Amino acid sequence: MQFFGGPFLSGLSDRTGRRPVLVACLLGASLAYALLGLAETLALVVVAVALAGAAGGTQATAQAFIADSTAPEDRARGLGIIGAAFGLGLMAGPLLGGLLSLYSLQAPALAASGLALANATFGLLVLPESLPERRRSRTPLLRMDPVSGLVQTIRMGGTGTLLLAVLLLNLAFTGFFNYKPARG
């Protein structure tokens, strides 16, 4: 879902501003995790995970927020900090989820929902808009799909080979981490 949500949310943030997209996605994530924590059917779990994935495609929007709100000489540092924050979340999230699951299987999802809701509240009350009205694009909503963006990127020249290399690298890492030798 992030494959579909990411380009759309990025384009939407270029059109409406970064803050409303970030706050809406945090609210969507909060709802998705609450649904996941309260789910009693597989169908509701699938809906919750799909919603979380669609709302989770905000990395490009967060990076654009940093790029908008930092001076050019501080931009690399700001983007490095956001990358480190994403990495820390990928490490700390499973640890905290595992610890919370000792209380109940719903606790990790409900805690994630509360954390996302707290972040949405912070965004709504404190976070300023970083994209001035004059710099916003008027891209039609129908052009904000992942396929047209991928086609444009491939047509840039030289990027097709790079994208293929990244795809193969990711497939290799996935195979490496999911490989389980046969026991004999």
**Residue from 179, 155, 156, 154 nearest 166 by CA:** 154
At residue 179 the predicted structure's pLDDT band, cuts being 50, 70 and 90, is: low
Question: 181 in helix, strand or coil?
Answer: coil
pLDDT value at position 142?
66
Mean pLDDT value across residues 112-117? 96
pLDDT value at position 26?
93
153: pLDDT strictly greater than 60: yes
Q: How far is CA 163 from the centre of its chain?
A: 20
**Residue from 123, 146, 150, 152 nearest 11 by CA:** 146
Domain spans in the chain, listed from the N-terminal domain onward:
2-141, 145-177
184: pLDDT strictly greater than 60: no
pLDDT value at position 178?
63
Spatial separation of the C-alpha atoms in residues 109 and 59, rounded to whole Å: 21
State the distance between the two ends of the chain, measured CA to CA, in whole angstroms: 39
- What are the Cα distances from residue 46, in Å, to 26, 42, 53, 170? 19, 6, 10, 24
180: pLDDT strictly greater than 70: no
Give φ, ψ of 12 to 5 degrees. Answer: -65, -35
- What are the Cα distances from residue 12, in Å, to 21, 51, 56, 77? 7, 17, 14, 25
Spatial separation of the C-alpha atoms in residues 65 and 108, rounded to whole Å: 28
> What length does the chain have?
184
pLDDT value at position 169?
86
Q: Mean pLDDT score of the chain, rounded to an integer?
A: 86
Q: Does residue 43 or residue 61 have the better pLDDT?
A: 43
pLDDT value at position 175?
73
Per residue in 36-55, pLDDT (tens digit) is 999 999 999 999 999 998 88
pLDDT value at position 10?
80
CA geometry: angle at 159 spanning 57 and 174, to 5°? Answer: 55
In percent, the amount of the chain with pLDDT more than 90 equals: 40
Residues 33 and 52: beta-carbon distance below 8 Å: yes
Per residue in 78-98, pLDDT (tens digit) is 989 988 988 898 899 999 999
pLDDT value at position 120?
95
Q: What is the pTM of this model?
A: 0.77
Spatial separation of the C-alpha atoms in residues 156 and 169, rounded to whole Å: 21
Lowest mean pLDDT among 22-36, 53-67, 145-159: 145-159
Mean pLDDT value across residues 104-116? 95
